Structure 1
Amino acid sequence: MRRLAGYFLRGLVIMAPLALTVYVCYSIVTAIDSWIPFSVPGVGFAITIGLITLVGALGSNVLADSLVELVDRLLEKLPFVRLLYGTAKDFFEAFVGDKKRFDTAVLVTLYPASEAKALGFMTRKDVDMFGLTNHVAVYLPHSYAFTGQLLLVPAEHVTLVQAGSAELMTFIVSGGVTDKSGATPTPASSLAPISASTTSVDG
């Protein structure tokens, strides 16, 4: 039963982002089809794919950087829109952008006197802006939820884990009931804490 629950949660983690993407694309296709005065099967879908590809091409073009920055600045001036746009942009860039943030799996010692560890992802190696030297930012996802907790902890309390981000995220979200056979974790005896020398600026 626990194995079936693990399979279900693994599928949920995989399908949820896909379902959201499909829903957004379907909404765009439906809207485009409603604007076209004549009915031609597949036109809305083709236009949607073309628009997404065009936006991606423009976003990869050096000449388009200034336009993207202009749009960013305009949206940053709108209080409520700034919050939504900035959060969504940072979230997607963390997974698929050039500055991925959820690709470093770690174990965190929350209490020095305790042997308990927490699993999460190191998202930033430098938090000097908060007056904390030799500290790193670690995001701890919650089990059975798509929420989490951000902690700023000393670098020596963080240990790197050799495990895939997808497998680790599924393992955490499922509450540890999934089988991590697809991952390659490092034995505890060979894990080494992150040294202070690795806490360089990670813009």
Structure 2
Amino acid sequence: MTKVPFETLSSHEGDGLTPNPRGPGLGWRIRNWFLTGVIVAGPLATTAYIVWWFVDTIDTWVKLLVPVGFWPDRYLPFQLHGFGVVFAFIGLTLLGFLAANLAGRTLIRLGESMLTHMPVVRSIYKSVKQIFETVFSQSGTTFRKVGMIEFPGPGKWSLVFICAAPAGGIAEYLSNEEHVSVFLPCTPNPTTGFYFFLPARDVIELQISPDAAAKLIVSCGVIQPDASTVVAELGKQRDRIKA
């Protein structure tokens, strides 16, 4: 058996051509450990930052409304974070309880009547109220269905959130066939996008949740929904359109 000199073996280690009989080197192990640490710590750090920002923002807003005497920070040697979230939860729950009663509804109508007599505030309040009632309505279908449309061109598909059907003032200018309105969000910021009307036959409804669609859009395709469900639904819808 011919022996290979130690100098010759050492000169080929790590060149990518000759396998290292001693296994991965220390540099490879350190790189692997570092990437594993990033994968573990990254989601935790991001989640903690978002939660901290949310709690701190709510605390700041609530402190402007709640008297100083009610804050535990006044009596404790340290600052207690998150108490504003508790105040906000209790306050909104009590507000909803009062709004469900006759006396509460009377007060709310009185306050809204005052706002409707303010020229600028009136338009802002009505628009924001309509948005909140539409989005958070338990019986509504706006933004609760996901679809696909052929955009920006033939053979190119985009995800959309299916909204309400066009109202009478708009529907009369459309063709006689059924139309729907959709919102096409941009990536990776889904708060911007395009809102338009198109025939219902051109919208392929998908059996995926709005949360899954939002994750797909925000992550730029990194977080994928169940591919088999999407493909199966897409095939059924295409067969229905051809028929």
Change (3 A) 1:102 1:127: same
Q: 1:28 aligned to 2:41?
A: no
What corresponds to 1:150 in structure 2?
195
Equivalent position to 2:237, from 168, 191, 202: 191
5+ residue gaps, structure 2: 1-34
Q: Indicate the RMSD between aligned Cα atoms, in angstroms.
A: 3.9
Given the two structures, how large is their TM-score scaled by the length of structure 1?
Answer: 0.67
Please say if residues 127 and 136 of structure 1, whose CA atoms lie closer than 8 Å, have aligned partners that are also in contact: no
C-alpha offsets along residues 60-79 of structure 1, whole Å, 9 cap, x if unaligned? 33654454344344434434
C-alpha offsets along residues 117-161 of structure 1, whole Å, 9 cap, x if unaligned? 221111112343213252111011111112121011111111211
Equivalent position to 2:111, from 71, 87, 108: 71
Amino acid aligned to 1:136: V
Equivalent position to 1:136, from 180, 188, 199: 180
**Offset of residue 110 of structure 1:** 3.9
Distance 2:124 2:180 in 1: 26
Q: 1:125 aligned to 2:165?
A: yes
Q: 1:178 aligned to 2:218?
A: no
Where 2:99 maps in the other structure, the secondary structure is: helix
Please say if residues 164 and 184 of structure 1, whose CA atoms lie closer than 8 Å, have aligned partners that are also in contact: no
Amino acid aligned to 1:149: F
Where 1:107 maps in the other structure, the secondary structure is: strand
Distance 1:92 1:150 in 2: 18
**Offset of residue 50 of structure 1:** 2.9
Distance 2:107 2:122 in 1: 17
Equivalent position to 1:105, from 146, 156, 159: 146
Where 2:230 maps in the other structure, the secondary structure is: coil
What corresponds to 2:125 in structure 1?
85
Q: For 1:19-58, what aligned pairs fall within 5 Å after superposition?
A: 19-20=53-54, 23-29=57-63, 31-34=65-68, 36=70, 39-40=74-75, 45=84, 47-58=87-98
Amino acid aligned to 1:151: F
What corresponds to 1:60 in structure 2?
100
C-alpha offsets along residues 39-88 of structure 1, whole Å, 9 cap, x if unaligned? 4568x756544322111212333654454344344434434434543444
Name the % identity. Answer: 20
Please say if residues 29 and 48 of structure 1, whose CA atoms lie closer than 8 Å, have aligned partners that are also in contact: no
Higher deviation after alignment, 33-42 or 131-140: 33-42
Larger radius of gyration: 2
Change (3 A) 1:177 1:78: farther
Higher deviation after alignment, 53-62 or 66-75: 66-75
Identify the structure with bigger relative contact order (alpha carbons < 8 Å, sequence gap 6+).
1
Where 1:108 maps in the other structure, the secondary structure is: strand
**Offset of residue 90 of structure 1:** 3.8
Change (3 A) 1:103 1:78: same
Change (3 A) 1:121 1:48: closer
C-alpha offsets along residues 160-181 of structure 1, whole Å, 9 cap, x if unaligned? 1100111111212222222324
What corresponds to 1:165 in structure 2?
210
